[in-house]
Amino acid sequence: MATFMVLVDGEASGWGADREALTAAIRDGWAGVETDSTPRSEARSYCWSFESEDGPGEAYLHEDGTCLFLDSSESDAVRLAVVFRRLTPGDLDLVFCDEGYNFDVRLRSDVTDAELIELMTTD
Q: Find the mean pLDDT for residues 9-25.
A: 90
Tens of pLDDT, residue by residue over 76-120, are 999 999 999 999 998 899 999 998 888 889 999 898 889 998 888
Which among 72, 61, 74 is positioned nearest to 17, based on CA atoms? 61
Q: What is the pLDDT of residues 38-87, one digit of tens each?
A: 888 888 899 999 999 999 999 999 999 999 999 999 999 999 999 999 99
Average pLDDT of the segment spanning 8-21: 89
Residue 107 is predicted with a pLDDT of 92
Neighbours of 35 (CB within 10 A): 15
pLDDT band at 1 (very low <50, low <70, confident <90, very high): low
Give φ, ψ of 115 to 5 degrees: -65, -40
For the domain spanning 2-121, the CATH number is 3.30.310
CA distances from 6 to 79, 80, 93, 119 (A): 11, 9, 10, 14
Phi-psi region at 11: left, alpha or beta (left = phi > 0; alpha = psi -120 to 50): beta
Is the pTM above the cut of 0.85? yes
